[in-house]
């Protein structure tokens, strides 16, 4: 066992930059956004904040996201979805930097670390957190692996809305309050749409390559025009859903995040004028910044309201 860990330590340290590439740090905003926004909501509702819970939840979310990215890297190569013709950043398995087995092993290590960090959360939150944690890890594998890979069946967008939106926000809210509310549901829907923009743009960029390998993402199933409409909806949906806060008299919850509207409209304009291409890599960066900025502004909006 010591020899095993020593070998993997050397593997990681000798190829640290490549592992960082495989982890896809630009996608980690999907794990950060629900933590920031739900923390703001809980603080505004007058609950005491246990920061150790936030820290464990954040690290666990990061590790699940990274593990999922590793599985995606390995499985897309195995299934032929990642080739030299891909429009996005090159993947480490496809480039031959690491073997399929090495990348999958690293994915397992990160999932195990996520579970270990989840233990104190389970002690605090009980069985609901056990269910959320196990489902999150299982879905991380199932996103591109297993007998029914979600990303290959057009269910990737639904997966992100559920797990990086409703479940991530709801789970964080429950951990910090011991309860659940309509406000957590509404925020979960907003966050779910924000984080799904990234995967929707990614899938539209890769639509032609995915068709060739029978990877039936939602973009492939919809076609370019409808896939663009889906992205436009996801971009503006947080503002539409946010009317709930206005009806509740929580004006700053809505008004402060709406400062992201120029960025949102800029994304829509650029996507509308651009066919799927390498230009979409720039749009991915914009979507990540949009989601993160929206969540930070929502946090500040809750502080101003309270």
Is residue 267 within 8 A of residue 290, CB to CB? The reply is yes
Minimum mean pLDDT range among 12-21, 133-142, 178-187, 278-287: 12-21
Q: How confident is the model at residue 138 (pLDDT cuts 50, 70, 90)?
A: confident
Beta carbons of 201 and 280 less than 8 angstroms apart: yes
Lookup result for tokens 């979310």: 61
pLDDT value of position 189: 96
DSSP 85-124: T-SSPPPTTTTTSS-HHHHHHHHHHHHHHHHHHHHHHHHH
In contact, 121 and 175? CB cutoff 8 Å: yes
- C-beta of residue 178 within 8 angstroms of C-beta of residue 151: no
Q: Are 202 and 230 in contact (CB under 8 A)?
A: no
Tell me what pLDDT residue 154 has.
Answer: 84
Total residue length of the chain = 306
Q: Are 72 and 27 spatial neighbours (Cβ–Cβ below 8 Å)?
A: no
Where helices occur in 143-279 by DSSP H, the ranges are: 156-161, 167-177, 182-205, 207-212, 218-222, 224-241, 243-247, 251-255, 261-273
The set of residues, in sequence order, having a beta carbon less than 8 Å from that of 266 and lying 6+ positions away, is 286
Do the Cβ atoms of 150 and 142 come closer than 8 Å? yes
pLDDT band at 182 (very low <50, low <70, confident <90, very high): very high
Percent of the chain with pLDDT strictly greater than 90: 49
More confident residue, 118 or 7: 118
What are the tens digits of pLDDT across the range 202-214?
Answer: 999 989 988 888 8
pLDDT (0 to 100) of residue 118: 87
Compute the average pLDDT of residues 132-149. Answer: 76
Q: For residue 38, which of 306, 299, 301 has the smallest C-alpha distance? A: 299
Choice among 120-134, 161-175, 275-289 with the minimum mean pLDDT: 120-134
For the stretch 72-109, pLDDT in tens is 888 877 766 555 555 556 677 777 778 888 888 888 88
Helix (H) or strand (E) holding 280: helix 280-305
Q: Given pLDDT bands bounded at 50, 70 and 90, which one contains residue 228?
A: very high
pLDDT at 99: 82
Question: Quick one: pLDDT at residue 2?
Answer: 57
pLDDT > 70: percent of the chain? 90
Highest mean pLDDT range out of 53-67, 213-227, 253-267?
A: 253-267
Mean pLDDT of the chain: 86
Question: How confident is residue 125, by pLDDT bands cut at 50, 70 and 90?
Answer: confident
pLDDT band for 253, please (50, 70, 90 cuts): very high
pLDDT score, position 73: 81
Q: Residue 265: what pLDDT?
A: 96
Q: Is the pLDDT of residue 7 over 60?
A: no
> Is the per-residue pLDDT at 14 higher than 70?
no
Q: Is a pLDDT exceeding 90 seen at residue 201?
A: yes
- What residue spans define the domains of the chain? 46-147, 179-306
């Amino acid at each position: 066992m010591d020899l095993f860990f020593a070998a993997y330590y050397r593997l990681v340290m000798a190829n640290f930059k490549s592992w960082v590439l495989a982890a896809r740090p630009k996608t980690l905003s999907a794990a950060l956004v629900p933590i920031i926004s739900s923390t703001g909501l809980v603080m505004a509702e007058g609950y005491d904040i246990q920061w150790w819970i936030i820290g464990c939840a954040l690290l666990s979310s990061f590790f699940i996201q990274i593990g999922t990215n590793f599985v995606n890297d390995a499985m897309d190569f195995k299934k032929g979805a990642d080739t030299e013709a891909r429009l996005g950043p090159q993947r480490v398995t496809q480039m031959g930097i690491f073997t399929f087995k090495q990348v999958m092993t690293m994915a397992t290590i990160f999932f195990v670390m996520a579970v270990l960090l989840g233990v104190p959360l389970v002690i605090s939150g009980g069985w609901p957190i056990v269910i959320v944690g196990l489902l999150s890890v299982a879905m991380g594998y199932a996103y591109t692996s297993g007998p029914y890979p979600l990303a290959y069946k057009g269910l990737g967008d639904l997966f992100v809305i559920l797990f990086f939106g409703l479940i991530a926000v709801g789970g964080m809210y429950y951990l910090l309050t011991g309860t659940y509310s309509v406000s957590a549901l509404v925020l979960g829907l907003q966050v779910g749409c924000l984080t799904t923009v990234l995967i929707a743009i990614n899938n539209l960029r890769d639509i032609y390559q995915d068709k060739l390998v029978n990877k039936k993402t939602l973009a492939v199933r919809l076609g370019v025009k409808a896939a663009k409409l889906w992205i436009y909806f996801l971009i503006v949906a947080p503002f539409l859903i946010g009317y709930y806060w206005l009806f509740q008299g929580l004006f700053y919850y809505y008004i402060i995040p709406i400062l992201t509207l120029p960025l949102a409209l800029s994304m829509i304009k650029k996507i509308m004028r651009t066919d799927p291409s390498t230009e979409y890599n720039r749009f991915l960066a914009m979507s990540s910044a949009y989601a993160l900025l929206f969540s930070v502004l929502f946090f500040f909006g809750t502080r101003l309201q309270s």
